[in-house]
Amino acid sequence: MYWNKPVETMEREALEKLQLERLQHTVRRVYQCVPFYRERMQAAGVEPGDIQSLSDIRKLPTTEKTDLRDNYPFGLFAAPQEEIVRIHASSGTTGKPIVAGYTAHDVSVWSEVVARCLGCAHISRDDTVQVSYGYGLFTGGLGLHYGVERMGAKAVPTSAGNTQRQLMLMEDLGSTAIACTPSYALMIGEALRDENFDLTRLKLKTGIFGAEPWTEKMRDEIQKLLNIKALDIYGLTETIGPGVAMECMEAQNGLHVWEDHFIIEIIDPDTGDEVPDGEMGELVITTISKEGMPTIRYRTHDLTAIIPEPCACGRTHRRIQRLRGRTDDMLIIRGVNVFPSQVEAAIVGIPGIAPRYLLVVDRVNNMDVLEVQVELAPELLSDEVRKLEELQRQVARAIEQVIGLGVNLRLMNPGSIERSEGKSRRVVDKRVL
């Protein structure tokens, strides 16, 4: 189901022509309006007129989160303040957040791309979408909300939190879809399971989950607990918010990037060189239709790969693989790279274990130690020491096999790892380097 079929199925050649026009326009705009970009481009010896083809994008300097921090709050805005109608913010690298500004046109583009994402999830005007992402400076709530309204479906702006109330409204209002973080979806699913809730009382059929990394195993778990189809949505404040890319129902494999608004590159995070299609690297995004705060070659620190093959759904916009983690949440423990999502993949599905975990990294006698805390599932709580010891060994082995590193495993009582209604905290790094 397409929201905007002509654009979503556009011939590649026409799409690339449009991309180039919009790229040239955006580069001229930031060169004229944003001293930061002009200075960076001058330092790199490049002018707007040098962008003659899409591959010329590589002549442009990249941008980092620290550039947003250094130009806090409005330094990267490319539209006059009186044209800005919305501000959002997200956590920065220090105490101050990073800020994004939107013109009315930007809000409209954003609603359009989110409406396309909803179409990917087969949501239509007949649907009631419970928006359980946080409303506020975070882009999740309002981003989804505007997309739902643009489509003409019904938005229920519950925001995150108060799970019992979410469930009551879900049943009473007949929500057919929910949009929230995958970890909150799990929390809701667990609440349903714990109450032996009869799922036939709900009309829920689809979930639109993103804002944090998750895994296929977690998808299976959520789909089972809520009896829905769970789809992945991606985006970041710096480039617009949710709606940069979305999985389609047909393939449930990779996220279509709306390439008429965003140009993507995948680079080697160490060298900055482009990597071939299909290879994992860091996603770099250039916004080509934003006015308020365009971002040029923004280094997301998100790891993914381009899926070059056409998709069964007929959309021509290329897909990226499910986001694998961030280059900067990667832990280096005794020289080994460890991703929290690897631990998750190892533990989800082990009988007796809940999909809740926390990595605690410390340095003892100059040696990195990794403690993994994992929650026992409520139904399998056994006080038989022998059984628990066996389970502990089994879980530790499963993790060690995936990450290639010995771990101290702590089985935790059900419910004892901090719950989150937004993004979960998966790592506590106590090392002082």
Binding stretches for ligand DLL (CB under 6 A): 90, 133, 139-140, 210-213, 232-237, 241-242, 300, 302, 323, 326
Of 385, 106, 86, 118, the closest CA to residue 249 belongs to: 118
Record the tokens describing residue 357, joined without a space.
């975990």
Q: In angstroms, what is the minimal distance from the CB of 323 to ligand DLL?
A: 3
Q: In angstroms, what is the minimal distance from the CB of 326 to ligand DLL?
A: 5
Nearer Cβ to ligand DLL (31/183):
183
Of 323, 289, 236, 353, the closest CA to residue 106 belongs to: 289
User: What are φ and ψ of residue 222, in 5° steps?
Assistant: -65, -40
Nearer Cβ to ligand DLL (48/140):
140
CB-based closest residue to ligand DLL: 210
What is the largest distance, in Å, between two alpha-carbon atoms of the chain?
73
Residue 166 to residue 202: CA distance in whole angstroms? 12
Buried b (16+ CB within 10 A) or exposed e, 199-224: eeebebbbbbbbbbbbbebbbebbbe
Q: In angstroms, what is the minimal distance from the CB of 186 to ligand DLL?
A: 15
Who's near 83: CB < 8 A, 6+ residues apart?
Answer: 103, 104, 291, 292
Residue 118 to residue 126: CA distance in whole angstroms? 12
Q: In angstroms, what is the minimal distance from the CB of 329 to ligand DLL?
A: 8
Q: In angstroms, what is the minimal distance from the CB of 255 to ligand DLL?
A: 7
Are the C-beta atoms of 120 and 247 separated by less than 8 Å? yes
Q: In angstroms, what is the minimal distance from the CB of 422 to ligand DLL?
A: 9
Q: In angstroms, what is the minimal distance from the CB of 113 to ligand DLL?
A: 12
Are the C-beta atoms of 223 and 182 separated by less than 8 Å? no
Nearer Cβ to ligand DLL (26/237):
237
Cis amide prior to 80 (ω within 30 degrees)? no
Record the tokens describing residue 58, joined without a space.
């590589």
Nearer Cβ to ligand DLL (3/138):
138
Residue 28 to residue 34: CA distance in whole angstroms? 10
Q: In angstroms, what is the minimal distance from the CB of 234 to ligand DLL?
A: 4
Q: In angstroms, what is the minimal distance from the CB of 415 to ligand DLL?
A: 25
Q: In angstroms, what is the minimal distance from the CB of 6 to ligand DLL?
A: 25
Q: Which amino acid is at 232?
A: D
What's the CA angle centered on 155, arms 152 and 156, to 5 degrees?
160
Nearer Cβ to ligand DLL (37/110):
110
Q: In angstroms, what is the minimal distance from the CB of 208 to ligand DLL?
A: 8
Nearer Cβ to ligand DLL (128/304):
304
Neighbours of 353 (CB within 10 A): 21
Buried b (16+ CB within 10 A) or exposed e, 116-152: bbbbbbbbeeebbbbbbbbbebbbbbbbbbbbbebbe
Record the tokens describing residue 210, joined without a space.
């993103």
Nearer Cβ to ligand DLL (99/211):
211
User: What are φ and ψ of residue 62, in 5° steps?
Assistant: -85, 165
Nearer Cβ to ligand DLL (3/31):
3
Nearer Cβ to ligand DLL (236/347):
236
Who's near 200: CB < 8 A, 6+ residues apart?
Answer: none
How distant is the alpha carbon of residue 224 from its chain centre?
Answer: 22
**DSSP category for residue 158:** -
What's the CA angle centered on 165, arms 161 and 170, to 5 degrees?
105
Nearer Cβ to ligand DLL (185/396):
185
Nearer Cβ to ligand DLL (31/234):
234
